[in-house]
Chains A and B, each alone.
Chain A
Amino acid sequence: MRLEKCWFCSSTVYPGHGIQFVRNDAKIFRFCRSKCHKNFKMKRNPRKVKWTKAYRRLHGKDMTQDSTFEFERKRNRPERYDRNIAENTLKAIKKIAKIRSDRSSDHIKNRLKTGKIQRQKEARKQLEQDIHLVKAPLALAQDSSLRLPKIKVNVSQTQTEENQQMEE
């Protein structure tokens, strides 16, 4: 039993599921469900459709380089059956699947980290720029408690006071 992959979304097509299209040049296209088949008929490019694996790979959403990807392959040569090897393979499948899912979740976690840093940076910038919307600039200048702690630490007290006087 060979489990094929869907041409459009790269999900596994189990026996009895999906549909197959054979073009007049004998090229076979397999689809896991009517959704993928319809998208193919509309001539959509899977690389540009966000929910497909091809898109996710291309845009760094999913893990691309990993040693666990070497196990599942399309083997175009007959393998002699060996009971021991089959047993060991069945045991290993579970372990490999676990390793792979852990690594892919790690990948997503790492990917989200950069977004968090970016958001914090933007928030800080907005606070600096738009503080006048919350408090009038004059009042802000008089009340030192409303100023950002960053300024307090970096710049000496005398210098900031001089600047305020200049502005006033």
Chain B
Amino acid sequence: MGGKCPSRKVKKRRYSHKTARRNKFLVKGDDAVYEELQKGDSENKPLPRDEDLPGMGQYYCLHCDRYFANVTVRDEHYKTKRHKKRLKQMSGPAPHTQLDAELAAGMGMPDNGPTLMSM
């Protein structure tokens, strides 16, 4: 959030406010965003109208999980360094998951038994 931080003291002050801290938990995790991107590319359905969100929830950045007030602000956001960084991160390998952790620990793939219904 924001640009370059001038000092540690300023950073502390900036994140001391409740809204800033709340934001941390409302933002989607990396893996959730990645999943959304993997499946959501083909379908282009209109975003649901939500009065509580900025711009009625119509201007949304999927990569950064952020809502904007209007098109110009969103397009401005697309030009920022932070968005580009995020874009690069999301186009890379899939984020770490529990399955990765288990494979790294020397476990095999999970055994779910035989499939009961043939698709």
CB <8 Å contact, A23 and B29:
yes
User: Chain A 51-80 against B: per-residue CB contact (8 Å), 1 yes, 0 no?
Assistant: 011101100000000001111111111000
A73 touching B113 in the complex, CB below 8 Å, given contacts A10-B102, A23-B29: no
Question: Which residues in A have their C-beta under 8 angstroms from that of B105?
Answer: 5, 10-12, 53
A33 at the interface (CB under 8 A from B): no
Interface size on A, residues (CB 8 A): 35
A130 at the interface (CB under 8 A from B): no
CB <8 Å contact, A5 and B32:
no
A7 touching B101 in the complex, CB below 8 Å, given contacts A45-B96, A76-B110: yes
CA distance A11 to B101 in the complex (A): 9
Interface size on B, residues (CB 8 A): 22
Interface of A, secondary structure class, is: loop
A76 touching B112 in the complex, CB below 8 Å, given contacts A5-B105, A53-B105, A57-B104: yes
CB <8 Å contact, B107 and A69:
yes
CA distance A167 to B98 in the complex (A): 67
CB <8 Å contact, A73 and B110:
yes
A107 at the interface (CB under 8 A from B): no
Known: A25-B32, A53-B101. 20 other contacts (CB 8 A): A5-B101, A6-B101, A8-B101, A9-B101, A23-B29, A24-B25, A28-B98, A30-B98, A45-B95, A46-B96, A46-B100, A72-B107, A73-B107, A73-B108, A73-B110, A74-B111, A75-B111, A76-B111, A77-B111, A77-B112
Question: Which residues in A have their C-beta under 8 angstroms from that of B96?
Answer: 7, 45-47, 54
Residue with the highest number of chain A CB atoms closer than 10 Å, among B100, B109, B113 = B100
Query: Contacting A74 at CB < 8 Å: which of B25, B30, B100, B102?
Result: B102
CA distance A11 to B105 in the complex (A): 7
Q: Which residues 66-99 in A have Cβ within 8 Å of B in the complex?
A: 68-77
CB <8 Å contact, B111 and A71:
no
CB <8 Å contact, B29 and A10:
no
Question: Which residues in B have their C-beta under 8 angstroms from that of A45?
Answer: 95-96
CB <8 Å contact, A71 and B108:
yes
Interface pairs (7), CB distance under 8 Å:
A10-B101, A25-B32, A45-B95, A46-B101, A56-B104, A69-B108, A76-B112
B106 at the interface (CB under 8 A from A): yes
Which residue of the partner chain B has the closest CB to A76?
A: B112
CA distance A56 to B84 in the complex (A): 29
CA distance A9 to B100 in the complex (A): 10
